Amino acid sequence: MLDKKEWRRLMKQKLQAMDQDERNRASSAVHRELFESQIWNRAKSIAITVSREFELPTRPVIERAWIEGKNVSVPKCDPISRSMQFRSITSFDELEIVYMDLCEPIESLTYEVDRSEVDLMFVPGLVFSRDGYRIGYGGGYYDRYLEHFKNKTAAMAFSFQVEESLPTEPFDIPVAAILTENGWIER
């Protein structure tokens, strides 16, 4: 079995090599299925990352949430403590690129949203297991944050990012549901 580091390298390669048409088709299917779901329609407040170029696009999800009047918060990382907070944004103009091509909320333009106020947390990852475990970029940011998060979690991924099983460590916290272009996988 591959270790976490090998999984990261392999999946980054696969994501970067993806055909544009297939990427657009699959992303649209994920978004369509999401917007029809009960979990989406019930959420008044969502937390989500701003996708980087090879990740499954999240901007359409953010825009749709705004149209539907949902509160949208995005992560601001503290690389020293390896912790994150979520801050509410109302426009993409409230983002700045801080490091590693990551868009983060500008502090002076946004406010912090407490984790108890987030109904639905979208958790990013490079690869997932069918039982919800995930491997991200290795910052441990989400593992730390989810320890104290009690509401709904979900992940969006391309179907090739979902494996039967993955190496896990004691601090790993699974997501409750994964949505791919082929539908929902629930724990």
Ligand X SMILES: Nc1ncnc2c1ncn2[C@@H]1O[C@H](COP(=O)(O)OP(=O)(O)OP(=O)(O)O)[C@@H](O)[C@H]1O
Ligand Y SMILES: Nc1nc2c(c(=O)[nH]1)N(C=O)[C@@H](CNc1ccc(C(=O)N[C@@H](CCC(=O)O)C(=O)O)cc1)CN2
Helix, strand and coil percent figures for the chain, each rounded to 5: 35, 30, 40
- How do 152-156 and 134-135 pair as beta strands? unpaired
Look at residues 76, 56, 7, 58 and name the one whose alpha carbon lies nearest to residue 157: 56
Q: Which stretch binds ligand Y (CB under 6 A): 33-41, 44-52, 85-93, 167-175?
A: 44-52
Nearer to ligand Y by C-beta: 36 or 174? 174
Kindly tell me which residue out of 27, 45, 51, 161 binds ligand Y, with binding defined by CB under 6 A: 51
CA separation for the pair 14, 90 (Å, rounded): 33
Q: Which stretch binds ligand Y (CB under 6 A): 30-38, 110-118, 135-143, 148-156?
A: 135-143
Q: Say whether 4 counts as a known binding-site residue.
A: yes
Chain-centre distance for alpha carbon 177: 12
Q: Say whether 133 counts as a known binding-site residue.
A: no
Kindly state the tokens that stand for 12: 């980054």
Q: Is 133 in the site for ligand Y (CB under 6 A)?
A: no
CA separation for the pair 15, 2 (Å, rounded): 18
Nearer to ligand Y by C-beta: 43 or 47? 47
Answer for the pair 124, 142: CB distance below 8 angstroms, yes or no.
yes
> Which residue's C-beta sits nearest to ligand X?
136
Q: Is 124 in the site for ligand Y (CB under 6 A)?
A: yes
Q: Is 180 in the site for ligand Y (CB under 6 A)?
A: no
3-class state of residue 43 by DSSP:
coil
> Tokens 């999240």, residue?
58
Nearer to ligand X by C-beta: 54 or 66? 54
Q: Is 71 in the site for ligand Y (CB under 6 A)?
A: no
> Tokens 């104290």, residue?
148
Residues that constitute the known binding site for ATP: 4-8, 134-142
Residues that constitute the known binding site: 4-8, 50, 55, 134-142
Give the interface with ligand Y as residue ranges (CB under 6 A).
Answer: 49-52, 55, 75, 77, 100, 102, 124, 136-139, 141-142
